[in-house]
Copies of this chain bind each other. A is one copy, B any other.
Amino acid sequence: DLHQQENYFSREMLDRLSGKRADKVWMEAKRSDPGTVYLLFSNLNPMISSSKEDEDNRVESRLCRFRFEAVKDLLQKPQTLVIFLGVEKRKTPFSSSSSSSSPLQTEEVTQEPPAWFAISTDEDAAELLKRCREKHSCFPKLPHRDLLKLSEEEAGVVAQARSVLAWHSRYSFCPTCGSSTKMEEGGYKRRCLNSDCRSLKGVHNTCYPRVDPVVIMLVIHPDGNQCLLGRKKIFPTGLFSCLAGFVEPGESMEEAVRREVEEESGVKVGPVSYVSCQPWPMPSSLMIGCLAVAISTDIKVDENEIEDASWFTRQQVTETLLKGPRPALTIPPRQTIAHQLIRHWIGMNSNL
């Protein structure tokens, strides 16, 4: 099967070049290269400019891209964080992605591909926006909604940058000894400044960005014709989604699916099969999407986490997929893996 499902936030338009992260000379040269692309983040969100919706109602926002000259002053401020994101991928015959919207298509292959960096600054947001020549630029207020309006390519870049920045914002002290730490290796490492710290001997995960695996699952009724969806208290009226939960220490993905479904809905699950996954940069989850077959059907909702859960028929779900939100059932948008798991079950192709 050559087809690989690609979810929103998953596309990698950049080669991360992890081997270059510790190469200070190379990195310094790339930082001041006139071809380098900078993205500006404030409060973990990127500066974007909103354009008219296109015919397909797809891309509505673009990342504001800056050159070295336009951000040079910010790079010099001690509070600024600069994260190396990678260099644009060369399209080769072996390249696994085959997008037609690549910014590289017309470029000479002999030229070095542009490097990308993310800058995080706590300068005044309104002042920062003045740097952008485009109209309607802003920093999104609601990332869960506003970061879903990017192109596939830019969404992937934002997933990477936002997760790394969220880690720096939450993990600036050493968890092992409480001392301050400093950023290294282009943003992919933090080193404890206390020279006696255990974290400096050997390799410790405290020094590396955190990625939280989460299972998200569509539970199928034993009759094969209904699926289990639930809603949290904070969901808008009518919205139901897949159940989900953090994988716990010492647990397999499949056992995490069984445990979370039983905890949240009381339903017991038998076979579990992996479908596809999605990085979710709020702040740094890896959503692991599965289909799960129920072996019991009575629902007993865990009221701490879920407000309601119930079985929906194939027909109800198909109607919502085809006609959009219904009073009885709204599902999350196509950019979410919950949506894609539901489409997958119904037997519809991804409409990403």
Contacts and interface: CB of A to CB of B under 8 A. Distances in A.
A4 B271 contact: yes
A7 interface: yes
A273 to B, nearest CB: 8
B213 A268 contact: no
A284 B19 contact: no
B175 A173 contact: yes
A179 interface: yes
A206 B170 contact: yes
Contacts of A213: 211, 213, 286
Interface string A246-290: 111111111100110001000011111110111101011010100
A6 B206 CA distance: 29
The 10 closest A-B CB pairs, nearest first, are A163-B249, A160-B250, A159-B250, A173-B178, A171-B175, A10-B252, A178-B178, A274-B274, A175-B175, A163-B250
Given A96-B268, A175-B206, A213-B286, 17 more contacts: A1-B271, A18-B248, A161-B250, A162-B250, A163-B249, A170-B205, A173-B178, A175-B175, A178-B179, A205-B212, A205-B283, A211-B248, A249-B279, A250-B279, A251-B286, A252-B286, A253-B288
A304 B20 CA distance: 12
A47 interface: no
Interface string A285-310: 01010000001100000101000000
A336 interface: no
A179 B172 CA distance: 12
A23 B283 CA distance: 29
A9 B249 CA distance: 11
A39 to B, nearest CB: 13
Interface string A137-179: 0000000000000000000101111111001001111111111
A208 B179 CA distance: 20
A2 to B, nearest CB: 6
23 contacts: A2-B270, A6-B252, A12-B259, A94-B268, A94-B270, A156-B250, A170-B204, A171-B175, A171-B206, A173-B175, A173-B177, A175-B206, A178-B178, A205-B210, A208-B246, A210-B249, A211-B213, A211-B248, A251-B286, A252-B277, A253-B277, A253-B286, A274-B274
A330 interface: no
Contact of A160 (B161, B174, B249): B249
Nearest to A9: B250
B205 A284 contact: yes
Nearest to A22: B304
Interface in A20-53: none
Contacts of A180: 178
B164 A175 contact: no
A16 interface: yes
A180 B272 CA distance: 40
Nearest to A262: B15
